[in-house]
Structure 1
């Protein structure tokens, strides 16, 4: 059975890149969100196996969304996506329960490695 993934990024281009990597490698993208609040709502609706979550977004940032998702489902598997130079935020995210992080621009093998490790 394909793992279900929720892809969250305020940039449509970044969502498209991740979605492309995932679908080519037999993952199912069940939903996409452009901000943290949408991410939380869609998590409740779809209960995905994995979430890729951008750190910097309007409305609700990725770290706040991560904490919300973790409060709904303590077992949620979340991989944070960050731009270079966001190390402090990445540390916050890991402390808040993120399993791993990937850095933009995405490299397919790194994305797949992080997902493989996280879904283990």
Structure 2
């Protein structure tokens, strides 16, 4: 599996425990984590300061859909992994999601999804 060493990865997740687990999992693989962002507004603010190599995106952030974040990522040509508990039909709300990992997921399947979108 390709390495995440030095890759800048934006984490957008509203559940603090999940966000910290994702951050730790990515850091353990050598990634440079941006965030985590817990809201749409925080994610958009981080995107004004950083251009990540890839992003991980929860679909529902405290009741607000992350569609604006996905649109901003697309505009920057940044692939993302949609990490969501929603069913596959719900993913159609987000434009051009590069990959999907269904919650709950294991660290191994999460990293595999991130690597897959980076190698597309």
TM-score, normalised via structure 2 length: 0.85
TM-score, normalised via structure 1 length: 0.85
Larger proportion of helix: 1
CA–CA distance in 2 between the matches of 1:48 and 1:56? Answer: 21
> For residues 1-120 of structure 1, what are the structure 2 equivalents within 5 Å?
2-58=6-62, 60-71=64-75, 73=76, 75-83=77-85, 85-93=86-94, 96-120=95-119
Name segments (4+ residues, structure 1) moved above 6 Å: none
CA, structure 1 residues 59+45, in 2 after alignment: closer, same or farther (shift >3 Å)? farther
Aligned-pair CA distance for 1:87: 2.0
Provide structure 1 residue ranges, at least 5 long, that are not aligned to the other structure. Answer: none
RMSD: 1.7
Provide structure 2 residue ranges, at least 5 long, that are not aligned to the other structure. Answer: none
Work out the number of aligned pairs and report it.
Answer: 115
